[in-house]
Structure 1
Amino acid sequence: MDEQQFKRLKSLSAKSFNDQKALIKKVLAGREIACTQCGTPIRVSLPEDKKTTGLFCAKGCTDIALDFVM
């Protein structure tokens, strides 16, 4: 991997991270956000639900695991 390829990978990784962070903020703020792949609403699963915590769509294309500290 040369330097240009590494810079591109770094840029794409940073964009992906920032996009996911923005998505998490919007969903936790209560906004109705649709999955970009399937169009179903993205739901949050909180620790009191007694299952894996995170953001998920109904079909599983969006699957962002979150750790909550209580």
Structure 2
Amino acid sequence: MKFDIDAFNKKRAAAFNQHKTILKKLSKGQALFCEHCKQPLQLDLNQTDKHQGLVSCGKGCTHIELELG
């Protein structure tokens, strides 16, 4: 089994850019919806750990943990 590192890096970069776009839009107050369940995404910066944030939908299909500062 051969592992294609270039394909992996491209997929990872695409996911990073998608997450970055989601964060920009949510921080501007724009409404975004989960691709799977179509519920609104929430940006929560009030986690117990002050250096962590969370983007998620109500059902938990989307779950993006953020490392802050």
The interval holding the TM-score normalised by the smaller chain is: 0.7 to 0.9
CA distance in 2, matches of 1:15, 1:25: 15
1:19 corresponds in structure 2 to 18
Could you say which structure has the larger radius of gyration? Answer: 1
Alpha-carbon distance between aligned partners in 2 of 1:31 and 1:11, rounded to the nearest angstrom: 27
Q: Percent identity?
A: 27
Instruction: Give every structure 1 segment of 4 or more consecutive aligned residues whose post-TM-superposition deviation is greater than 6 Å.
Output: none
- Structure 2 residue runs of 5 or longer lacking an equivalent are none
Please report how far the alpha carbon of residue 17 of structure 1 lies from its aligned counterpart in structure 2 after TM superposition. Answer: 0.7
The answer to which structure has the higher helix fraction is 1
Give the partner amino acid of 2:34. Answer: C
Q: TM-score, normalised by structure 2?
A: 0.79
Q: What is the number of residues matched between the two proteins? A: 66
Give the superposition deviation at 1:21.
0.8
Task: Specify which structure has the higher proportion of strand.
Answer: 2
The CA deviation at 1:46 is 2.0
Distance 1:13 1:23 in 2: 15
**Amino acid in structure 2 at the alignment position of 1:23:** I
Counterpart of 2:36 in structure 1 is 37
Return 5+ residue gaps in structure 1 as ranges: none
Matched residue SS, 2:25: helix
Aligned AA for 1:14? A
The aligned counterpart of 1:54 is 54
Over aligned residues, Cα RMSD in angstroms? 2.0
